[in-house]
Chains A and B, each alone.
Chain A
Amino acid sequence: MSLGARKLQTIRILHDLAAIVVCLIFLGPVLWAIYSAFRPSRDLFVFPPNISLTGFSLQNFRAVFASGDVTRYALNSLLVAATSSIITILASSMAGFALAKFKFPGRNLIFMTILATLLIPIQVLMVPVFLVLKTLGWVNQLIGIIVPPAATPTGTFMMRQFIRGIPDEMIEAARLDGASNWKIYRHIILPLCAPMSAALGIVTFTWRWNDYLWPLIVVNNQDKFTLQLALANLVGTNTVEWGTLLAYAILVLVPVLVAFLVFQRLFLKGQIGSAIKG
């Protein structure tokens, strides 16, 4: 190896090292919160931090589970995130199927209308949607959190693009065999959409799990709290038991963090994550 090449190599390694160090500093707030959640309360506000491999405790987590209905909130969050992701996948794939594989009057108009709803900012909808939910009797109901944001223009768009790639011959063959359109959707389109559905589902799930705005508007009955609402409520009122709060926050973020780290290519590749959010 020549001297120049070796110098270049050293610079690259230093650059790599710097990237990791800067990244860890950037993630300091999260790492520190995770570390502190497992420490006794007296360590929370010590600087320089009490870094030792001993003295870990689950005291904070015990306090979280002793403080109330965490399990119920977690089940509410799970129910909201899971059902609305399923609705999103089904509605988007159905609409995508129609828009990709049928020719019908008004198709472009319908497609453009669906996409145009992307432009309506959420703050304009906040108040009127609440009143719509009130009329439907969905205020303080989980269904009021689940349904309103379940149809996403981006989901529809992505499904349409994906279904366009499915060869027409497959659909025609099924039709010749006498399959109805619904059967074609169920037995051909939906299974073939599995990769797209998985991607859409994972991203929608994390978004709905993280959602704070809709639950905040729709629900004020503790029974119907999601984890985000419950934690937000604690952060607003309780500024003493930081150990418990941090442990709570860790419990809330773990599912999303795991999903992100496992499926990071999905999040980092396309702009799906952002697109769904919009």
Chain B
Amino acid sequence: MAPTSKSTNPLTPYLFVLPTLGLLATFSLFPLIYGLWMSLRDIDIVHGKNEFVGLQNYFGLFHDPKFGLSLLNTAGYTVTVVPSILVCSLALGVFLRRTTPARIFARVGFYIPFVLSPVVVATAWKWLLNEDLGVIDGFLKWAGVATVPWLTDDTAARISVVVTTVWNLAGFYMLMVLAGLTQINEELYDAARIAGANAWQRFWCITLPLLRPTLILIVVLATIHATQAFETILLLTDGGPANATRLVVQNMYDSAFVRLHPGYGAAQSILLLPLILFVAWLQMRLFKEENIL
């Protein structure tokens, strides 16, 4: 720590922090409180209405079938996406563990979908999944199997959304697995090999248990990712067909920005806040416990 000389203005450090602190206060901290306040009001931008209604927005949510459905969809999406990501990233990490040029090349390749924008991801997949005409249905036809209406059937659309998400994020989580793997002592494997353990046993008895902190971290981060999913799905299915892929964030966006009831939208986000903060708290605790931070 630099001993600051007496001559410097005591305000200086505050001035240096000011831009960051000011921006965060205006666009994070204040909006958080403002959102809470808004959720207690009936705001109608079109008719210029803005009045205090207490908890009415929250009560309204309990009778809103669309909100209920979006919660259910988000839950379904999360419990499918998170294990899929976990398995894929683990498989990729173990598969590409050695640092040969070919495998480093493959790592870069698997990471590419993560740097694409949600709009580009949605464009490519919407084209591939195009009913009947799309490449995937083209392949099915070529293979002599019936085509699937990927984006217009309830179940198929849900699967499509999950597949797109996993494709988009697997490379990022693979990197976390690879980082975790470097922490495992190679000698353990040599010892196991000498003791006659086969590859499968080594995976189950060494890799998996020692990778536990990383895997837990992946589950937590992927859960946060999943509960916040919005942009790609909005473009891919627009929540359809018949709201089958409508998730919570889209429902909130819809209330606030399409139907122009920001108070009602804010209430939805506030209702989810405890849940999200719980997951975040869990994450921080794990970080501390496993010395990741």
Residues of A within 8 A of B (CB): 12, 15-17, 19-20, 22-24, 26-27, 29-30, 32-33, 44-49, 87, 90-92, 94-95, 97-99, 101-104, 107, 110, 113-114, 117, 119-132, 147-151, 153, 156, 168, 171-172, 175, 181, 185, 206, 209-213, 216-217, 228, 231-232, 235-236, 239, 242, 245-246, 248-249, 252-253, 256-257, 260-261, 264, 267-268, 271, 273-274
| Beta-carbon contact of A245 and B127 below 8 Å | yes
Q: Is B12's beta carbon under 8 Å from chain A? A: yes
Q: How far apart are the CA atoms of A132 and B38 in the complex, in Å? A: 12
| Beta-carbon contact of A267 and B115 below 8 Å | yes
| Beta-carbon contact of B115 and A114 below 8 Å | no
Q: How far apart are the CA atoms of A122 and B103 in the complex, in Å? A: 35
| Beta-carbon contact of A260 and B112 below 8 Å | yes
Point out the residues of chain A lying under 8 angstroms from B117, CB to CB. Answer: 209-212, 228, 252-253, 256
Selecting from B190-198, B207-215, B249-257, the interface stretch reads B249-257
Residues of B within 8 A of A (CB): 1-5, 8-10, 12-14, 16-17, 19-24, 26-32, 34-35, 38, 95-96, 98, 100, 102-103, 105-120, 122-128, 130, 133-135, 138-139, 141-142, 167, 172, 175-176, 224, 228, 230-231, 235, 238, 248-249, 252-253, 256-257, 262, 265-266, 269-270, 272-273, 276-277, 280
Given contact pairs A32-B135, A125-B32, A168-B2, A249 touches B124 in the complex (Cβ within 8 A):
yes
| Beta-carbon contact of A127 and B262 below 8 Å | yes
Chain A nearest Cβ from B162, distance in angstroms: 15
| Beta-carbon contact of A90 and B19 below 8 Å | yes
Given contact pairs A121-B228, A130-B262, A168-B2, A148 touches B27 in the complex (Cβ within 8 A):
yes
Given contact pairs A19-B103, A232-B235, A261-B108, A127 touches B141 in the complex (Cβ within 8 A):
no
| Beta-carbon contact of A206 and B272 below 8 Å | no
| Beta-carbon contact of B4 and A103 below 8 Å | yes
A121, A132, A260 pick with most chain B CB within 10 angstroms: A121
Identify A123's interface contact among B8, B120, B228, CB under 8 A: B228
Total of A-B residue pairs, C-beta within 8 Å: 275
Q: How far apart are the CA atoms of A110 and B19 in the complex, in Å? A: 12
Q: How far apart are the CA atoms of A182 and B218 in the complex, in Å? A: 42
Given contact pairs A147-B27, A257-B115, A212 touches B20 in the complex (Cβ within 8 A):
no
Point out the residues of chain A lying under 8 angstroms from B112, CB to CB. Answer: 27, 30, 257, 260
| Beta-carbon contact of B126 and A129 below 8 Å | no
Q: How far apart are the CA atoms of A151 and B228 in the complex, in Å? A: 21
B113 — nearest CB in chain A belongs to which residue? A30
| Beta-carbon contact of B13 and A107 below 8 Å | yes
| Beta-carbon contact of A99 and B115 below 8 Å | no
